[in-house]
Chains A and B, each alone.
Chain A
Amino acid sequence: MPEAAWHGGRSTFGRRAKAGPAHPPPGRAVLGKTRPRAAALGELAQRTAALFGRVERPARYLDSEWGARRREDVSYRVCLVYPDTYELGMANQALAILYDLLNSIGGVAAERCFVPARDMAALLRAEGVPLATLESVTPLRECRMIGITLPYELTYTNVLETLDLAQVPLHSSEREEDDPLVLGGGPSAYNPEPLAPFLDAVLLGEGEEAAGEIVAAHRASLEAGEDRATLLRRLADVPGVYVPSLYEPDSAGRPRPLAGAPARVLKRVVTDLEAHRSPTCPVVPYMDVVHDRATVEVTRGCTRGCRFCQAGMVYRPVRERGADAVVRDALATLECTGYDEVSLTSLSTADHSQLEDVLRRLARRLEGTGISVSLPSLRVDAFSVDMARLVSAGRRSGLTFAPEAGTQRLRDVVNKNVTDDDLLGTVRRAFSSGWRRVKLYFMLGLPTETDDDIRGIGELVARVMADARAAVPPNERGAVRVGVSVSTFVPKAHTPFQWEPQLTLEEVRRRQAVLRETMPRKGVDLSWHDPEASFLEGVLARGDRRLAEAVEAAWRAGAVFDAWTEEFDLGRWLVAFESAGVDPGAIASGKREPGAPLPWEHLSSGVSTAYLRLERKRALAAEVTPDCSFGECTGCAVCEELGVDVVLGGERRGT
């Protein structure tokens, strides 16, 4: 039994029974992996299984889903972690892609792990059972690499929870030679500074090509018997890889490269999506997970150019999969998984140049099978409603649209190229086609927002309601519902609004009251995204390395699953910020001049800072910028910088 050191009710397990100093002297000989593997494995699997009867939803921890790959005779085992529960993590497509890809490399096994819910975590700690992969029940600490997705800021404490349950030292600096390499990647990798001390390396951008290169570099390093420091330097040479320990923040919090590290890390991107087939035999969960269906990614990237949208900036340029490949992969995935639904995913599926063709072909092939096709995101236009009709004849679940702002002026500021007439026309078409509910997304606190803009949201919803009711037969008017979901704008790194202040909590509350003034009640379901959670998201999104101490303190105080309303507690975080000596309000809501130092300046999405500044200027002048996938290049520089191009299957049409 390893010694357990308790910190505020939480255990940090020793890597091995450490009686001596916590940090062994450098140069100490380190034991290799000498455990009698097969025997130890069976035992751990049994110890884990013995806990299943004592936890809620044990299907989260089972290991024998259809499509799960278990390989014994490998020299290199990677554990892919999604830092939330199984039911959220299994919806993540990046995980499925990397799982497929890494498992196809000779001698490499990729397995999965998700964050155990509190009941399971408590049992693992009480019984001293280390967190293990699902497939072969290998302790994470015995894997060569732990690859953690960083999907959004509110999962940061889950990253620490995972490492702790895995009995892997939290800090990169404390890890020893035979500890796994801890690699982060995903959307939050574009400003990983608040997690910098906990990650050995970070991949910026798409993993299809880079993941294999990283594994190859690691294996070569193991082969050569290199020590950890040498390995990290070697990894820093892989394009797209950022090694935080090779950078030291200056007084402004801006990381500066130490000798040999690149001054700037540029994201990875695949030039041709079709060169990488969508995974057609992904793991099929038993439990009811989020997005429990087959998926085919039809497009990567979106250049509509919404100025608040980080995904729209960092996933550029647009690359479509052609209709033939989409239809082929959709059918193959259905056949291999047995799902009764396939979703055509992307940031903006209705923009795909051959969507109609794809939908017609799929409808023909799936006729009489009870299998349906779904579209995750819709534009505010007639074409989108027609496409929705094509896939869900008879399905009368609601349609979702995102006008984001209540007035034309503010929509121009954020470059949401949608007019009131577009929205109203779309709504009329949806309701006269049989839908009885729509959901509308808005944001509060967008740059330059005034109280008139806020009141505009209520007025727009009232018009939507009136038009929707007018479009349905009188006896069905009672069934008309409009869902209105309002979140707080969070300025994100690498967007034109990265310099803008976020609303303070008091101001959010005041503006919520203004919104209520004009918001109709009858038939409207108004919901708010928790502004306190958005505040924390904003702090972590633009914080620098000094925040790491606060993240750790919050986790030690019990913060985990911060994205879950019932688990989130801002108070715990405020104490943590104070103990770390940082002012969260200044980070989220302080004023930054364009040109002021930013903690993510050394990381590039390929979009030039000049372009972001220009977009900000246009925003403040309420000037719109068109979508380059429908017309001319607008000069964001990503194509030239990365040697890629917009890839379309045909000509894009529509608004």
Chain B
Amino acid sequence: MAPDEFRLRARYRKGGRLRFLSHLEVARALERAARRGGMPYAVTKGYTPRMKVAFGPALPVGTAGEREYLDLWLREYVPAPAALRRLAGATPEDLAPTEARYTRAAEPSLASALTIARYEAVVDGVVAEELEAALGELTASGELAVEHKGKTKVFDLARSLPEEVRVKADGGRSVVTLTTRMGPEGSLRPEVLLSAAFDVAGIRDAPVSVTRTDVLMEEEGGWARPL
């Protein structure tokens, strides 16, 4: 990184109907917002210069996010509140940035630093106690084998689920809160865990709506938000 560049970190959300965007679509929309907002963004060197921007771990199509992050490198220093205003003013509401500050140039990338994700999954038409029992049985077994594109991946659940999975009844719905550890070996998606739990409990696949509520860095002595 050039010494005269400034690394601005912003938090944004992915909500409403825009939960149905893919990671690539979200990234492109926010890059366009940065250009529309007239941000003095830095560009990469080389044949096809591109905006210098980096995103946290991908969110799949259909999953909402409450605290998502991006790093944008600027050629010029713009006070963070002004930068946030410019960015937010050019972004659709359901992707709106809500917080921004500068961060040290030497920090590791968001994608590699953010390894803990908290989720809330709302499951329609399933009895909370049944689901809780099934999830308990599943986690007690220690492992979960997942088929994906003809390959089987085995998750060590003690490692993948660093906190206890909780289930709460909310009217006719169950609200599941869970925390997963992401890593190069793969990340356990809440839908996958829930669908395995449905199998255990003999429940037909029920509609699940997932929101990632937080993404965190693992540091000595605990977990921390990147902003």
Residue B102 at the A interface, CB < 8 A? no
When the two chains form their complex, are residues A334 and B22 in contact, meaning their CB atoms are under 8 A apart?
no
- Please determine whether B20 and A58 come into contact, CB atoms closer than 8 angstroms: yes
Can you name the residue of chain B whose Cβ is closest to the Cβ of A64?
B92
Q: How many interface residues does chain B have, given as a range?
A: 20 to 34
Q: Let me know if A335 is at the binding interface, CB within 8 A.
A: yes
CA distance A52 to B19 in the complex (A): 10
Indicate if B17 sits at the interface (CB-CB under 8 A). yes
Contact B36 A64 (CB under 8 A): no
Q: Which of A286, A287, A339: most chain B Cβ within 10 A?
A: A286
Write out the residue numbers on chain B whose beta carbons fall within 8 Å of the beta carbon of A63. 17
A575 at the interface (CB under 8 A from B): no
Interface size class of A (residues with CB under 8 A): 20 to 34
A394:B43 contact, CB within 8 angstroms: no
Residue from B17, B48, B207 in contact with A49 in the complex, judged by beta carbons closer than 8 Å: B17
A548 to B22, CA, bound (A): 40
A26 is an interface residue with CB less than 8 A from chain B? no
* Chain A positions within 8 Å of B38 at CB level: 335
Contact between A64 and B17, CB atoms less than 8 A apart: yes
CA distance A394 to B34 in the complex (A): 25
Q: Are B47 and A59 in contact (CB under 8 A)?
A: no
Q: Which of B176-213 contact A (CB under 8 A)?
A: 207
The interface residues of chain B lying within 8 Å CB-to-CB of A286 are 18, 21, 25, 28-29
Q: Which residues of A contact B118 (CB under 8 A)?
A: none
Residue of B nearest to A335 (CB): B36
CB distance from A433 to the nearest CB of B (A): 14
Q: Is the CB of A396 within 8 A of B47?
A: yes
- Could you tell me if A336 and B47 are in contact, using CB atoms closer than 8 angstroms? no
Q: How far is the CA of A567 from the CA of B120 in the complex (A)?
A: 40
Report yes or no: A338 in contact with B35, Cβ–Cβ below 8 A.
yes
Chain A residue contacts of B35, Cβ below 8 A: 334, 338-340, 369, 371
Q: How far is the CB of B16 from chain A (nearest CB, A)?
A: 8
A334 vs B32: C-alpha distance when bound (angstroms)? 10
Contact A59 B31 (CB under 8 A): no
Would you call A477 an interface residue if the criterion is a C-beta within 8 Å of the partner chain's C-beta atoms? Answer: no
Contact with A along B122-133 (1 / 0, CB 8 A): 000000000000
Q: Which residues of B contact A334 (CB under 8 A)?
A: 35
By the criterion CB–CB under 8 Å, are A52 and B21 in contact?
no
* A8 interface residue (CB < 8 Å to B): no
A371 to B62, CA, bound (A): 31
**Contact, CB under 8 Å: B48 / A395:** yes
Binary flags per residue of A378-410, CB closer than 8 Å to B gives 1, else 0: 000000000000000011100000000000000
Cα(A59)–Cα(B25), bound, Å:
9
Q: Which residue of A lies closest to B75 (CB)?
A: A368
Determine whether the beta carbon of B36 is less than 8 Å from that of A337.
Answer: yes
User: Is the pair A369, B43 in contact by a Cβ cutoff of 8 Å?
Assistant: yes
Q: Who on chain B is nearest to A50 by CB?
A: B207
**Within the complex, which residue of A59, A65, A370 is in contact with B51, where a contact is CB–CB below 8 Å?**
A370
**A62 contacts the other chain (Cβ, under 8 Å)?**
yes
The answer to whether B25 and A66 touch across the interface, beta carbons within 8 angstroms, is: no
Given contacts A288-B25, A370-B43, A396-B47, contact A62 B34 (CB under 8 A): no
Interface check A358, CB cutoff 8 A? no
Asked whether A338 lies within 8 Å of B92 as measured between CB atoms, the reply is no
Which residues from 1 to 33 on chain B have a C-beta closer than 8 Å to any C-beta of chain A?
16-18, 20-22, 24-25, 28-29, 31-33
User: In the bound complex, do residue B32 and residue A59 qualify as a contact, i.e. CB atoms below 8 Å apart?
Assistant: no
Asked, given contacts A66-B92, A338-B31, A338-B36, whether A370 binds B17 with beta carbons under 8 Å apart, the answer is no
Closest chain B residue to A61 by CB distance? B20
Residues of chain A contacted by B18 (CB below 8 angstroms): 62, 64, 286
Asked whether, in the complex, the Cβ of A340 is within 8 Å of the Cβ of B92, the reply is: no
CB B43 to nearest CB in A, in angstroms, measures: 4
In the complex, the chain A residue whose C-beta lies closest to that of B34 is A338
Within 8 A of A (CB), among B74-112: 90, 92-94
Complex CA–CA separation, A630 to B94 (angstroms): 52
Inter-chain CA distance A337–B33, complex, in Å, is 8
Those of A325-371 within 8 Å (CB) of chain B: 334-340, 368-371
A53 within 8 A of B: yes
* Contact flag A287-B51 (CB < 8 Å), given A58-B61, A338-B34: no
Q: Is B50 an interface residue (CB 8 A)?
A: yes
Find A338's partner among B20, B22, B33 (CB 8 Å cutoff): B33
- Choice from A49, A62, A338 contacting B32 with Cβ under 8 Å: A338
Residue of B nearest to A49 (CB): B17
Question: CB-CB < 8 A to B22: which residues of A?
Answer: 59
B43 adjacent to A368 (CB under 8 Å): yes
Q: How far is the CB of A279 from chain B (nearest CB, A)?
A: 16
Contact with A along B141-177 (1 / 0, CB 8 A): 0000000000000000000000000000000000000
Contacts of A288 in B (CB 8 A): 24-25, 28
Choose among A59, A335, A337, A368 the residue that contacts B20 (Cβ–Cβ < 8 A).
Answer: A59
Contact with B along A54-88 (1 / 0, CB 8 A): 00001100111110000000000000000000000
Is the pair B207, A53 in contact by a Cβ cutoff of 8 Å? Answer: yes
Q: B24 and A340: CB pair below 8 A?
A: no
The answer to whether B49 has its CB under 8 Å from any CB of chain A is yes
Task: Give the shortest distance, in Å, between B62 (CB) and chain A (any CB).
Answer: 5
Which residues on B sit within 8 Å (CB–CB) of A370?
Answer: 43-44, 49-51
B17/A62 in contact, CB under 8 A: yes
Give the Cβ gap from A241 to chain B, nearest Cβ, in Å.
37
Residue of B nearest to A371 (CB): B35
B-facing residues in A90-116 (Cβ within 8 Å): none
| Minimum Cβ distance to chain B for residue A63 (Å) | 7
Shortest C-beta distance, B19 to chain A (Å), equals 9
Q: Is A337 touching B32 in the complex (CB atoms < 8 A)?
A: yes
A284 within 8 A of B: yes
Chain B residues, CB < 8 A from A284: 32
A53-B94 in contact given A64-B17, A286-B25 (Cβ < 8 Å): no
Contacting residues, chain B, for A59 (C-beta < 8 A): 20-22, 25
Q: In angstroms, how far is the closest chain A Cβ from the Cβ of B182?
A: 23
A284 to B94, CA, bound (A): 15
Chain B residue nearest to A339 (CB atoms) is: B32
A371, B46: Cα distance in complex, Å: 13
Residues of B close to A368: CB separation below 8 A: 43
**With the chains together, A62 CA to B29 CA distance in Å?**
14
Q: Once bound together, how far apart are the Cα atoms of A338 and B36, in whole Å?
A: 5
8 A-B contact pairs sorted by A residue (CB < 8 Å): A52-B62, A58-B20, A59-B20, A59-B25, A64-B18, A64-B93, A66-B33, A338-B34
Additional 15 contacts, C-beta under 8 A, given A58-B62, A66-B29, A338-B90: A52-B20, A58-B20, A62-B20, A64-B16, A64-B18, A284-B32, A286-B25, A287-B25, A335-B36, A338-B36, A340-B32, A340-B51, A370-B43, A372-B48, A396-B47
